[in-house]
Amino acid sequence: MSSTILLWTILFPAVVAIILFLIPGRIKFLREIIAVLASGALFYLGFLLFSQKNLSLVSDWLGMGINFDLRLYHFSAFILLALAGFLFLICLYSAVKMQNHPRIREYYGYLFLAASFSFGAVLANNFILLIFFWEALLITTYALITLGLKATSHRTAVKSLIIGGFCDFSMIMGIGLLWASTGTLAMDKIQVEPHGLAAAAFILMMIGAIGKAGAMPFHTWIPDAALDAPVSFMAFMPASFEKLLGIYLLARITLDFFTLRAGSTLAIILMIIGAATIVLAVFMALIQKDFKKLLSFHAVSQVGYMVLGIGTAIPIGIAGGIFHMINHAMYKCGLFLSSGSVEHRTGTTELKKLGGLAREMPWTALGFSVCALAISGVWPLNGFVSKEMVFHGALETGYPIFAIAAWVGAIFTFASFLKAGHSVFFGPRSTEIPKTKESEAPIVLPILILAVLCITFGVYNKLPLQTFIQPILEGKVEAGVPLDFTSHALDLFNPVAGVSILCLIIALGLHFYGWNRGGRKAYLASEPIHNLPVLRQLYDLSEARFFDLYEQGVKFLQWLSKVLFRFIDRPIDYIYEKVVVSIGRTFTGLLQKAHNGQYANYLAWTIGGLVAVVWIILELLK
Amino acid sequence: MAIQIILLCGLIIFSVLAILLKDLIKAALSLAVASLFLGIIFFLLAAPYAGVFEISVVAGLITVLFVLTIALTKKDGEVKESRIVHLAFPIFFILFIVIDGLVMKSLLQKIPVLPIGPEAGTFGEVLWKQRTFDLVAQIGIILAGVLAVLALFRKKEEDKDE
Amino acid sequence: MVFSFIVIPLLVAAFLPLIGKISKKLLPDVLTNAALAFLLFNSILLVKPIFTNGFIIQNLSWLGEKVNLQIALDGFSLFMLFTISLVSLCVSLFSIDYLEHYGHKANFYALFLVMIAAMNGLVLVPDLFSVYLFMEVAAVASYALVAFGLGSDELEASYKYLMLSVVASAFVLLSITVIFGLTGNLSFQAVAQGLQDLNARIVLGVCVAFFIMGFGLKAALIPFHAWLPDAHPSAPAPISAMLSGLLIKVSGIYALFRILYSVIGLSPALSRLLMALGIISVLVAALLALGQKDIKRMLAYSSISQVGYIVLGLALGTPLGIAGGLFHLFNHATAKGLLFLNSGSIQHITGTRNLDELGGLGKKVPITSGTNLVGALSIAGVPPLAGFWSKLIIIIALVQAKAFGYALVAILASILTLWYYLLIQRKAFFGQVREKWQQVREAPFWMSAANIILALICLLVGIFFTPVYKTWISPAAEALARGIHQVLMWGL
């Protein structure tokens, strides 16, 4: 296969995007058919490329080592395949769900454009090229959020743009530092020890990667977007694409560009970020009253597991982190899609209004349940496997605190999903919504496919671990370390798994305690925790966006601009008005007086100039 | 020698007058006189061609042009100028003359004798054989002069028409 | 054929007054523009041979008899030829409509063509005295053209221009005479060779000073600039565009630097002196421009300032500096041509050039306003327009040569430039439409067309900066820089 196929992989979705932009809004079905077929073709292409392994396309671009350099190898082929798969599912889903969206042309256009940029970012083998695609993704994210058509959509879109822009900016600076210290921009040629400047570069690039993945504290736009953006966008971007891209880059950073040692300061920083993200986000998720918002906080919380896993810098931890990435993309995508399915039929996602939908929407409920159990880490689903690997990795680093944090996360993850599932699908039928029925096949089908995948990846975990994950780590770990992670992946009978199962039991207990206390209303099951003395105040502050760095930053900037205007800008303006302008006027006036239109006078200047020139030249010659 | 010095002084004085005189017609006439002096100097220096050209073209033709164009212009009100501005030219000019005298004196001594004299031959031959390109330029100058005269006379015709 | 650059305009000019008797408008318009378009086409055709050979030298014969008629064309001269042809074509297109109310088009075009022929000749000759002669031809034509309107202002300006310009010519001639006396030769190569064997530094120093004064006056470098702000605004707009866009560059900058580069050698001392003159021009003229009320006067001062930039780049003498200077020369020729033509449009539309009287024309005359903005921003150096790149290159070259003070002043002056151009734009085009100008209409077709072509050039050259720079400017500049080193052997 010729390597120009790589270029076509990027160009094809872009061309499709343009076609979809151009199809007039009145024509029905055509756009959906094109989108599904094109994404199916891309998915097939993903398989083709995955079977290819190594391909590379290099041509001169901007000079100075900035080449148009695309490289396909195992890892990028894997991510590419996953991206294409999710694109296909989302297109299938959107075919019905988004059918009547007033700005449907833009929706599909940006969807495929985002796919094109993502493929480019994955295939890029030159940092400048990577930045190009990475930045371009911000624009599509922005545009897709505004398609939520809510009053606050625009504001949230700007928020995502600024947070993303900040993260990307720090990544660019990191790349700049790396370039300065290594002198090359080719991604496959860089491998440095993270010391001194390189450590700064590592941190800066890491911010870029985890910012894209949505780890704390760069997550705050995601919960806002859950309410303001189309739900399929949530399944598309924060749940799958951004996780895949962000964690892909993080893995590349820790495995390829830098040699991260287990237990080093940088590794611990990563683990702290991961652990903090897990715990803080899951606490926020627990108390949410809205289905989509609850899911969005989990989308943040789960990133913590991936970051933690990769931060361990121990093969099993890294493998767990990467495995968790693909698992998460599957079940979180499925969860968002099922919430969309509920929204599609009932028109709401508020937990309070919903209830007992399992009978009317059995397939959605089934898909949701499988995915929810998977995310909670219930044996034998995929979430269990990858979480176990992360736990093992965290314990092996010798800092059990991180494992404990991860377990705490597991407790509340399960608790919150018990609450969500209980409120939406089970329990008594809500009286607030009219009778309804199951969603159309294109909506249910992607959810069920994802649910089946969750089961497959859990039960036959050897399959993904051996075909996808292990080759990534080959050659990256010290010789002799076993790369077969399947041995204890599904082992129920070891202390680690024991603790995990204990956590699930605690979660169950908590849920039923809260359910009883809340008058047997499932959506109130988290209230006992919500009302704990210190937590209550923290939650209130958090609801008021006190911990949202972006909101605080905006407030600070507003304050700063006022101060600067009063105390710096006005005085400078005064100086400018009075001093600069008057000096300028004076000079101009003086010079103008010398130009009075008298020929003799002009001749005098000329002769004077000549005398001066002669004198200077003679001086210079001496 | 004495004649030459007188001629040179005359040349300078009339040139300066041409610049300093406020009345444009008088200034133009001073210029004509100055180029008359220059023409005579050319003759004395055994450069008859140059002398003829100088007197006929510069002193004759161009002066006529000037007088004509000046006659076309209308008189504007006097512009008031400060004293210092008036002094600028004389001061710089005197400065220049002094420096010129000093520099040229030492300079003239340093210029070596021409390594090769211009080839013998009549004026026409030299012009044709060696300076052909200059002929093209000369044609250009004459053309430009004629066209300029045409352009500047134009107004008069139009005035008559009106 | 290279000789056609001189002969064709001269021939057309010679017959135009006769043709003007037959057809007052159409034939002169068509003939002039066709001739200029042919020259532009011809200069583009020459690009390839020049890049493959480096230079072309042609010796012509007259009816089989060998005569001394030599033409030398290298990257620098071709660059100038192209610029001259391009700008003059646009100007003559503009003149089709603009000259309607002056009358006597044939005569105008004839003088115009003589001026172009002279500039082309100046660029092509490899001989000191011929340079002088062609400079004079161009000057005589331009005196007449400045006075073409025949108002008292025009005549006075023309007279002043003539008188100062004659002083310059006299010094140039004097200097050429002395050099002829020293070496017995007039062609560039022979003189350069003759000077190498000679030890006459002081004499030559004085000659160079005369050259700087003479050509500096033609190029309107401060303090030799005084004629320009009178002469350029008084001329009809197309002629202002020619004078500011081309004539000062050809008979001033080109002649000076051709002689410095290929005959005398740009020694470090000379380079310093010229850079100082350049930077003074940049700054002082920019300040002067700020105080002007008349659009064309403001533009004229701006020309002085921009010529300062060009001299700064060329005098630096490094390949990058020369490239910047040449590029700025081209950009200034197009942009300043455009701005003067625009001022002509404004005058045509409203009948005035006084900034205080204008206002709010932007909505009424979008083409004039838009093209004016492009030209102004290009000269002021706003990315991505062409002028930005050339100023950037000059400033980078200054920084590279460790002339930080110059670089700083250059940057500051470019801010001043932006200031006064925005002043024009704001006062003339932006804001509320005045009562007076409610009825105005956009400029006629050919005027707008010429403006649009020039604006497009400013824009496209800026956007496609890299290919233009790589294929066009950079080789010419490097060839010149190599030439300097060869000539510099004997050192001043």
Looking at residue C492, its pLDDT comes to 42
Q: What is the mean pLDDT of the segment spanning B72-97?
A: 65
Chains with 3+ CB–CB pairs under 8 A to A are B, C
pLDDT at position B162 over 50: no
Cβ distance C182 to B154 less than 8 Å, yes or no, reads no
pLDDT one-digit tens code per residue, A265-322: 888 888 888 888 888 888 888 888 888 888 888 888 888 888 888 888 888 888 888 8
Helix (H, G, I), strand (E, B) or coil at C291: coil
Check residue C380 and give its pLDDT. Answer: 85
Q: Does A610 contact C210 at a Cβ distance shorter than 8 Å?
A: yes
pLDDT 10s digits, A212-233: 888 877 878 888 887 787 888 8
Q: Is residue C208 part of a domain?
A: no
Q: Give the model confidence (pLDDT) of C13-50 as tens digits.
A: 888 888 888 877 788 888 889 999 999 998 888 887 87
Q: Find the mean pLDDT for residues C435-454.
A: 83
pLDDT confidence bin for C87, thresholds 50/70/90:
very high
When the pLDDT of each residue in chain A is averaged and rounded to a whole number, the result is: 81
Nearest CA in chain A to C217: A606
- Res. A488 pLDDT band, cuts 50 70 90: low
In Å, what is the CA distance from C277 to each residue of A380, A592, C382? 84, 19, 25
| pLDDT value at residue C455 | 92
Closest CA to A321 of A302, A306, A331, A332: A306
Chain C residue with Cα closest to B130:
C68
| Nearest Cα residue to C68 out of B3, A161, B128 | B128
Task: Look at residues A421, A321, A411, A329 and name the one whose alpha carbon lies nearest to residue A370.
Answer: A421
pLDDT for res A49: 83
Position C297 scores a pLDDT of 85
**In which band, very low, low, confident or very high, does the pLDDT at B93 lie, cut at 50, 70 and 90?**
confident
> In this complex, is the C-beta atom of C224 within 8 Å of any C-beta atom belonging to chain A?
yes
For residue A610, pLDDT over 50 is answered with yes
Side chain identity at residue A506, one-letter code: I
Q: Is A60 exposed, middle or buried (0-12, 13-18, 19+ CB in 10 A)?
A: exposed
Q: Report chain C residues whose CB lies below 8 A from the CB of A620.
A: 205, 269-270, 272-273
The separation between CA A382 and the C-alpha centre of its own chain, rounded to angstroms, equals 21
Specify the pLDDT at position C212: 92
A228 has which bridge partners?
none
Chain C closest-CA separation from residue B95 CA (Å): 16
User: Does residue C463 belong to the interface with chain A, where contact is any CB pair within 8 Å?
Assistant: no
Amino acid in the structure at residue A427: G
- What mean pLDDT is predicted for residues C332-346? 90
Q: Estimate to the nearest angstrom the gap between the alpha carbon of A93 and the chain centroid.
A: 21
Q: Identify the weakest region by mean pLDDT among A344-353, A590-599, C77-86.
A: A590-599
Average pLDDT over residues C169-196: 84
CA dihedral C335, C338, C342, C348 (to 10 degrees): 160
Q: Are residues B88 and A600, on separate chains, in Cβ contact within 8 Å? A: yes
> A590 vs chain B: nearest CA distance in angstroms?
13
Q: Please tell me the predicted confidence (pLDDT) of residue B80.
A: 53
pLDDT for res A479:
54
Average pLDDT over residues A366-373: 87
Distance CA A616, CA C270 (A): 10
How far, CA to CA in Å, does A240 sit from each of A127, A298, A369, B5?
Answer: 23, 13, 19, 100
In a domain, C300, yes or no: yes
Confidence of residue A431 (pLDDT cuts 50, 70, 90): confident
Instruction: Please tell me the distance from the alpha carbon of residue A420 to that of residue A515, in angstroms, as a whole number.
Output: 12
Cα dist from A561 to A36, A165, A555, A575, C472, whole Å: 49, 20, 10, 19, 47
Closest by Cα among A369, A328, A145 to A239:
A328
- Residues of chain C in contact with residue A603, where contact means CB-CB under 8 angstroms, are 163-164, 167
Inter-residue contact C179 to C207 (CB < 8 Å): yes
Residue B116 has pLDDT above 50, yes or no: no
Alpha carbon distance, N-terminus to C-terminus of chain B: 57
Q: What percent of chain C has pLDDT over 70?
A: 96
Q: Are A5 and A49 in contact (CB under 8 A)?
A: yes
Judge whether residue B21 has pLDDT over 70.
Answer: yes
Contact residues, chain B to chain C, C-beta under 8 Å: 19, 24, 66, 69-70, 72-74, 76, 103, 106-107, 110-112, 114-117, 128-134, 136-141, 143-145, 147-148, 150-152, 154-155, 158
Q: Is the per-residue pLDDT at C433 higher than 60?
A: yes
Task: Give a yes or no: residue C280 inside a domain.
Answer: yes
Q: Which of C177, C176, C179, C168 is nearest to C142 (CA)?
A: C168
- Do the beta carbons of residue B76 and residue A590 sit within 8 Å? no
- Which pLDDT does position C491 carry in this prediction? 41
Comparing A37-51, A174-188, A333-347, A546-560, the range with the smallest average pLDDT is: A546-560
The length of chain A, given as a count of residues? 622
pLDDT at residue B82 is higher than 60: no
User: Residue B117: its pLDDT value, please?
Assistant: 47
**Residues in a beta bridge with A605:** none
For chains A and B, CB pairs below 8 A equal 40
Residue A59 bridge partners (DSSP): A68
- What is the end-to-end Cα distance of chain C in Å, rounded? 37
Distance from CA of C153 to the nearest CA of B (A): 9
Closest partner residue to A602 (CB to CB) among C160, C209, C213 is C160
Give the integer Cα–Cα distance in Å for B95 and A229.
Answer: 82
Average pLDDT value for residue range C252-260: 90
Total Cβ atoms within 10 A of residue A428: 10
The answer to whether residue C18 is domain-embedded is: no
Share of chain A above pLDDT 70, in %: 94
Q: Does B89 touch chain A (CB under 8 A)?
A: yes
Instruction: Residue B79: list chain A partners with CB under 8 A.
Output: 596-597
With contacts defined as CB-CB under 8 Å, which chain B residues touch C125?
Answer: 133
> Is the pLDDT assigned to residue A478 strictly greater than 70?
no
Q: Does residue C426 or residue C309 have the better pLDDT?
A: C309
The secondary structure of C76-126 as a DSSP string is HHHHHHHHHHHHHHHHHHHHHHHGGGT--HHHHHHHHHHHHHHHHHHHH--
At residue C275 the predicted structure's pLDDT band, cuts being 50, 70 and 90, is very high
> CA triplet C214, C216, C219: central angle to 5 degrees?
115
Is the Cβ pair B95, A611 closer than 8 Å?
yes
Q: Which amino acid is present at A363?
A: W
From the list A589, A609, A620, the residue facing C224 with the nearest CB is: A609
Model pLDDT, residue C312: 92
**Taking 90 as the threshold, does the pLDDT of residue C89 lie above it?**
yes
Contact B132 C203 (CB under 8 A): no
Cβ-Cβ contacts under 8 Å for B122 (sequence gap 6 or more): none
Is the CB of B89 less than 8 angstroms away from the CB of A603? Answer: yes
Section C312-330 average pLDDT: 89
Q: Where are the domains of chain A?
A: 4-547, 551-621
CA angle C185, C187, C192 (to 5 degrees): 80
Whether C425 maps to a domain, the answer reads yes
In DSSP terms, which residues pair with C55 in a beta bridge?
A: C74
Q: Which residues of C touch A592 (CB under 8 A)?
A: 288, 291
CA closest to A595 among chain C residues: C226
Alpha helices in C291-385 (DSSP H): 295-316, 319-350, 366-380
C288 contact A CB<8A? yes
The number of folded domains in chain C is 1
pLDDT at A539 over 90: no
Which residues does chain A have within 8 Å of residue B81's beta carbon, measured at their own beta carbons? 596, 598
What percentage of chain C carries pLDDT values higher than 90? 16
Residue A532 predicted with pLDDT over 70:
yes
The pLDDT assigned to A491 comes to 63
Which among B111, B139, B155 is the nearest to C203, CB-wise? B111
- Contact residues, chain B, for A604 at CB < 8 Å: 88-89, 91-93
Q: Strand C55-62 and strand A55-63: pairing? A: unpaired
Question: Which position has the higher pLDDT, C273 or A151?
Answer: C273
Q: What tokens does C251 get?
A: 């008979």
Residues A485-497: b if buried by 16+ CB within 10 A, e if exposed: beebbbeeeeebb
Decide if pLDDT at B81 tops 60.
Answer: no
**Whether A502 contacts chain C with CB within 8 A:** no
Q: According to DSSP H, which parts of chain B are helical?
A: 2-20, 24-44, 48-53, 63-72, 83-110, 123-129, 132-161
Task: Tell me what pLDDT residue C164 has.
Answer: 82
In a domain, C129, yes or no: no
C113, C35 Cβ separation under 8 angstroms: yes
Angle ∠(B27,B29,B30) on CA atoms, nearest 5:
65
Q: Please indicate if any CB of chain C lies within 8 Å of the CB of A555.
A: no
Q: Please indicate if any CB of chain B lies within 8 Å of the CB of A607.
A: yes
Determine the distance in angstroms separating the CA of B1 from the nearest CA of chain C, rounded to an integer: 22
Which residues of chain C from 247 to 276 reach within 8 Å of chain A, CB to CB?
A: 269-270, 272-273
Contacting subunits of C (3+ beta carbon pairs below 8 A): A, B
Question: Does residue A487 surpass a pLDDT of 60?
Answer: no
Say if the Cβ atoms of B19 and C127 lie within 8 Å.
Answer: no
Partners of C59 in the β-ladder: C70
- Asked if residue C262 belongs to a domain, the reply is no
| pLDDT over 50 (residue B161) | no
Put simply, whether the predicted model's pTM sits higher than 0.80 gets the answer no
Contact A621 C202 (CB under 8 A): yes
CA–CA min distance B92, chain A (Å): 6
Q: Is C167 on the interface with A (CB under 8 A)?
A: yes
Are C226 and A605 inside 8 Å of each other by CB? Answer: yes
Q: How large is the C-alpha radius of gyration of chain C? A: 21
Q: Which of A382, A134, A128, A97 is nearest to A241 (CA)?
A: A134
Which pLDDT tens digit goes with each residue over A312-339?
Answer: 888 888 888 888 888 888 888 888 888 8
pLDDT digits (tens, 9 = 90+) for A144-154: 888 877 778 77
CA nearest C336: which of C87, C37, C32? C87
User: Is A76 a residue whose pLDDT tops 80?
Assistant: yes
B19/A600 touch (CB, cutoff 8 Å), yes or no: yes
Three-state SS at A66: strand
